[in-house]
Structure 1
């Protein structure tokens, strides 16, 4: 059913995955070589975003940054895994769980411990670890992006509902990414890279899903 109509989408997923992977690698290369353009970009965006820090906004973005944290995403991921196990079967839920594990934890942490980029000095919240890429950006893109795509492709029927979910997921991911820069725990390039990393992962993961027998068994 899906395979007969999704052949063009398969190619789009490959192109999308490659595109975002190249963006991520470009940022990573630029961070590793301390490229001047990247330093200027981070400084310019930091000045634009953090030039007028105010307590109400700090509290507001602390709420959103928690929605991309490890504890919240782990809890939500377990709930999604159980929901998909019940509604789509074990193989489908394992596919989703493995994708989330890579996007929320494995890939960001591997790159962090290879690059070892220190976090900005003027942080507004206490946090440890390395800066590149943003785990919150990668994790929130992986979880909220995956959840939105699953709802749109397999559960929602009305176009209006699909648009609403798409917009909500985009806004939530964007606010979480913005919060990391506003609170001073990441450079803008960190969140762009984190988003690109998981966007690439999602594209390749859905390509695998459509090409595998998982859908026929779910």
Structure 2
């Protein structure tokens, strides 16, 4: 394939991706607004209670240990050092400087946006028993939002690297999605979030993830 053909192909892929971004973000914003409105008016109370009861009905000490293991993947003492190490690896081993910067932006931005939303909406934590320590407000779930943005961005970067090397990458996307879902549901099981907190975290994190993905696409596209 000639350099001209390769450049044109990348330009087309970038344009298509940009269109998908414009298609996906408005519905996600509407969904986030709908969830927020329902939470503030307490319309989802029955749903929140039913989902928590369902997830906890099969609880056991062993299952709780497994769930706590997954929830720690989005805890600050794990995810921040991991982000720094991965960013250094992308920058100095792979020479992917923009990828490293964007990964850190995805994490930092999601933290700041989450704290801002929590301070604005001020939803209290669930009243049922907490099986792990949790402080601060409940909506949206920080673990769900941060893991969506960070692990989603990490998955996207790895998929790009694999595709550039001609290697299969579908399983990476599936693994990344499953990890994010597991982290989110772990917060409900452990009693520190409602399912609506987690759902809003997924959506808000997804919006920020899309913004970071297209920022990386713009910074790395060939002129």
Aligned match of 1:48:
54
Q: Which of 131, 140, 148 is equivalent to 1:133?
A: 140
Q: Residues 215 and 85 from structure 1, CA distance in 2 versus in 1: closer, same or farther, beyond 3 angstroms?
A: farther
Higher RCO, Cα 8 Å, sep 6+: 1
TM-score by length of 2: 0.87
Aligned match of 1:153:
160
State the shift of 1:81 in Å. Answer: 1.6
Does residue 1:68 correspond to 2:74, yes or no? yes
Structure 2: gaps (5+ residues) = 1-6
Look up the SS of the partner of 1:6 in the other structure.
helix
Does residue 1:197 correspond to 2:192, yes or no? no
Does residue 1:17 correspond to 2:25, yes or no? yes
TM-score by length of 1: 0.89
Q: Residues 147 and 91 from structure 1, CA distance in 2 versus in 1: closer, same or farther, beyond 3 angstroms?
A: closer
Look up the SS of the partner of 2:192 in the other structure.
coil
Count of residues in Structure 1 that have an aligned counterpart in Structure 2 = 212
Task: Give yes or no for contact 1:42–1:188 (8 Å, CA) kept in 2.
Answer: yes
State the shift of 1:213 in Å. Answer: 4.0
Task: Give yes or no for contact 1:84–1:92 (8 Å, CA) kept in 2.
Answer: yes
Task: Give yes or no for contact 1:13–1:206 (8 Å, CA) kept in 2.
Answer: no
Structure possessing the higher radius of gyration over alpha carbons: 2
- Distance, in Å, in 2 between the alignment partners of 1:91 and 1:163 is 23
- Distance, in Å, in 1 between the alignment partners of 2:17 and 2:98 is 22
State the shift of 1:147 in Å. Answer: 0.6
- Distance, in Å, in 1 between the alignment partners of 2:96 and 2:158 is 15
Does residue 1:26 correspond to 2:31, yes or no? no
Q: Which of 115, 118, 137 is equivalent to 2:121?
A: 115
Does residue 1:177 correspond to 2:184, yes or no? yes
The more displaced of 15-24 and 66-75 is 15-24
Task: Give yes or no for contact 2:88–2:100 (8 Å, CA) kept in 1.
Answer: yes
Q: Residues 215 and 188 from structure 1, CA distance in 2 versus in 1: closer, same or farther, beyond 3 angstroms?
A: same
The more displaced of 148-157 and 177-186 is 148-157
State the shift of 1:201 in Å. Answer: 0.9
Does residue 1:163 correspond to 2:132, yes or no? no
State the shift of 1:99 in Å. Answer: 2.1
- Distance, in Å, in 2 between the alignment partners of 1:18 and 1:133 is 19
Structure 1: gaps (5+ residues) = none
- Distance, in Å, in 2 between the alignment partners of 1:5 and 1:179 is 36
Does residue 1:81 correspond to 2:87, yes or no? yes
- Distance, in Å, in 1 between the alignment partners of 2:210 and 2:41 is 28
